[in-house]
Amino acid sequence: MIVVFGSLNLDLVTPVERLPGAGETVLGPGYALHPGGKGANQALAARRAGAPVVLVGAVGRDAFAELAVELLAADGVDLTRLARVAAPTGAAFIAVDAQGQNQIVVAAGANAEASADALAAMGLGEGDLLLLQREVPEEQCLSAAKAMRAAGGRVILNLAPAGVPVPELLGLTDILIANEHEAALLAQGLGWAEIEPDAIAQRLDAERGIACIVTLGAEGAVGWHGGVRRGLEAPRVAVVDTVAAGDSFVGAFAAALQAGFGFSGALQRGLAAGSLACTVAGAQPSVPRREAIEALVG
């Protein structure tokens, strides 16, 4: 199985004529509620790509919790390890102006209380994969990684949102996935002169033994694994919006790897999923399914 230890949010999206300045109030005509959070999005992506998925994390004891898990439940993500805590369900407050510029405030809420304790009782084994992002407390990510490694499973770390993980977490990571910006920030944090995605991925692989993929938007992705480079283009698609492209990539990559496709085959499927997510508006509704991914891979 794939264990995703990560965040669940509810996105509240308000259209405004222009974004407010400090101390200012602007009026919007209404708002929409969308389920999100990188943990939830990637769990859904791995599940729709065909993997058995357990999501470990925390939501509040509020009405937002039901909305945050609605699509996950519909697709059969195992939610039995999700804790309900006193803090409110995580939320993102998003204003979008007439030019499409946005302003986002994320309140961690229950995500700040996500605990990796559940992994101890899950009967993890060699074939299992842990998928991590950076929206829940890092010391809990570290505990989760230790539990998965102790069971003989592999750890995938998606470096989003950008930041430099503690050395111990990096040391427990088998595969690291980052976009260009996140990779550059990591290199800087490690004191490396490299800024090119290719060079960063190669150095992580060669010096740290961490297979690394850097996604390159419409250009596709470059990966290094066991001293071998794999650069692949993203399938060309009609782009509606790129929301959830990165999460779809990561979830589908993990699902393919767990299904036994190997690094290269998984990379190909991640790219197909990322591209497909760009053809449909929004986040979770745009996450593609296995049939569509396989059809695009050909």
Residue 246 sits in the site that holds ligand ADP (CB under 6 A): yes
Among Na ion, ligand ADP, none, the one that 57 touches (CB under a kind-dependent 5 to 8 A) is none
Closest separation in Å from C-beta 275 to ligand ADP: 4
Distance CA 48, CA 250 (A): 12
Residue 187 sits in the site that holds ligand ADP (CB under 6 A): no
Paired with 83 in beta bridges are 58
* Candidate residues 64, 249, 253, 263; the one interacting with ligand ADP per rule CB under 6 A: 249
Distance CA 3, CA 80 (A): 12
- For the segment 121-160, give every residue that binds ligand ADP (CB under 6 A): 160
Q: Is 247 a catalytic residue?
A: yes
Number of Cβ within 10 Å of residue 100's Cβ equals 7
Among Na ion, ligand ADP, none, the one that 218 touches (CB under a kind-dependent 5 to 8 A) is ligand ADP
Judged by DSSP in three states, 185 sits in helix
* Candidate residues 274, 282, 286, 290; the one interacting with ligand ADP per rule CB under 6 A: 274
Kindly report the backbone phi and psi dihedral angles of residue 27, in degrees, each rounded to the nearest multiple of 5, phi listed first. Answer: -105, 140
Among Na ion, ligand ADP, none, the one that 274 touches (CB under a kind-dependent 5 to 8 A) is ligand ADP
Kindly report the backbone phi and psi dihedral angles of residue 173, in degrees, each rounded to the nearest multiple of 5, phi listed first. Answer: -90, 130
* Candidate residues 271, 283, 287, 293; the one interacting with ligand ADP per rule CB under 6 A: 271
> Is 215 within 8 Å of 179 (Cβ atoms)?
yes
Residue 68 sits in the site that holds ligand ADP (CB under 6 A): no
Residue 245 sits in the site that holds ligand ADP (CB under 6 A): yes
> Is 28 within 8 Å of 113 (Cβ atoms)?
no
Residue type, 159: L
Among ligand ADP, Na ion, none, the one that 82 touches (CB under a kind-dependent 5 to 8 A) is none
Residue 220 sits in the site that holds ligand ADP (CB under 6 A): yes
Q: How many CA atoms lie within 13 A of 254 on its CB side?
A: 38
Mark 277-296 with x for binding to ligand ADP (rule: CB under 6 A) and - for no binding: -x------------------
Closest separation in Å from C-beta 143 to Na ion: 32
Residue 275 sits in the site that holds ligand ADP (CB under 6 A): yes
Distance CA 90, CA 69 (A): 12
Closest separation in Å from C-beta 143 to ligand ADP: 25
Among Na ion, ligand ADP, none, the one that 243 touches (CB under a kind-dependent 5 to 8 A) is Na ion
Let me know if 33 is exposed, middle or buried by CB neighbors in 10 A (0-12, 13-18, 19+): middle
Residue 197 sits in the site that holds ligand ADP (CB under 6 A): no
Closest separation in Å from C-beta 286 to Na ion: 3
Distance CA 171, CA 42 (A): 22
Distances (CA, A) of 134 to 33, 72, 111, 128, 159: 23, 20, 11, 20, 6
| Residues with catalytic roles | 247
Residues in the site for Na ion, rule: CB under 5 A? 243-244, 277, 286
